[in-house]
Chain A
Amino acid sequence: MAVTVLAIIRLHNLVAVVMLSGFYSLLAATLFVVLDAVDVAFTEAAVGAGISTILMLGTLALTTQHEKVRALPRFPLILVALTGVALIYGTADMPDFGDPESPIHEHVAPRYIERSAEEIGLPNIVTSVLASYRGYDTLGEVTVIFTAGIGILTLLGVRRWRSRKPGPDTATGDEDRNAAGGDRA
């Protein structure tokens, strides 16, 4: 992963950068499988390596494929290094990796693991927490996705194909507003 990230920093060809970021996501997904988070790995592989790569390539097709090469200032590197050191210093008090006695495992999660079988009756605890115990959160998340979708419709609009539908909208500029207005109706 580190090598991939370094390559992302160094490269100026944006297509290669986007491909590498998809690869980075795939590596992250593999890591999640190793860390027992199968649901998350599933999502990351489908979203990070699939959809978002396609979206970025779509953006590149609409914009440009090469990054302007410019001299890099030294100051941000020092700043970033200092922040990193501060953060690593901050982790000194954190529990060990995989420690079953760390605080995160003592409070809410055991209740879910012990009781979800009798309360929800589903084997997949992630689903029961997602949909039932934390249903309210998930409703919020779905609303965020919904809002993002509407935002994109407002910004870009879905181009209608004239050949199929000689619609009432004529000018390209108005189309976006039509698309946004259609959503609210």
Chain B
Amino acid sequence: MTIEIHPGLYNYAIVVMLMMAGLYIVITRGNLVKKIVGLNVFQASVFVLYITMGKIVGGTAPILEAGIEVYSNPLPHVLILTAIVVGVATTALGLALVVRIREAYGTIEEDEIQRQDEAL
């Protein structure tokens, strides 16, 4: 079995890098706002993954017009379109939680919150 990573797959490599950067932020950072930014980076990389899969070389945007034969795949566009708006709604929910945590604990650093919990 030989592993062959050829140049046509560069888009996946880029997506994986962005994705891992997001994951790294989520794992290492204790600040809750920064964690949410990391999740957003991760999310955007998934969007890019879907959209690159839908692209066809030589295709155009999926809006019907006379004389155009090749369209990009509209299905990923639909999925991601809704996912973006849902994503911002859930991000806002997360931020609302952060605001409440700050009001309850007086900090948004993860380790300080844990220390306060243990002290109870």
Contacts and interface: CB of A to CB of B under 8 A. Distances in A.
| A/B: CB atoms within 8 Å of each other | yes
Interface of A: 1-2, 5-6, 8-9, 14, 17-18, 21, 24-25, 28, 31-32, 35-40, 43-44, 47-48, 51-52, 55-56, 58-60, 62-64, 67-68, 70, 72-73, 76-77, 79-81, 83-84, 87-89, 91-92, 94, 96-100, 102, 104-105, 108-109, 112-113, 116-117, 123-126, 129-130, 134, 137-138, 141, 144-145, 148-149, 151-152, 155-156
A68 B20 contact: no
B87 to A, nearest CB: 8
Interface of B: 3-6, 8-14, 16-25, 27-31, 33-34, 36-38, 40-41, 44, 47-48, 51-65, 70-78, 80-82, 84-93, 95-100, 102, 107-109, 111-112
- Please report whether the interface of chain B is mostly helix, strand, loop or mixed according to DSSP: helix
A21 B25 CA distance: 13
Contacts of B92: 52, 55, 148, 152
A76 B24 contact: yes
B100 A91 contact: no
Nearest to A105: B73
Contacts of B75: 104, 108-109, 112, 129
A155 B44 contact: no
Contacts of A38: 61, 63
Contact of B21 (A6, A37, A87): A6
B88 A62 contact: no
Nearest to A148: B89
B20 A129 contact: no
Given A8-B41, A48-B44, A88-B16, A14 B34 contact: yes
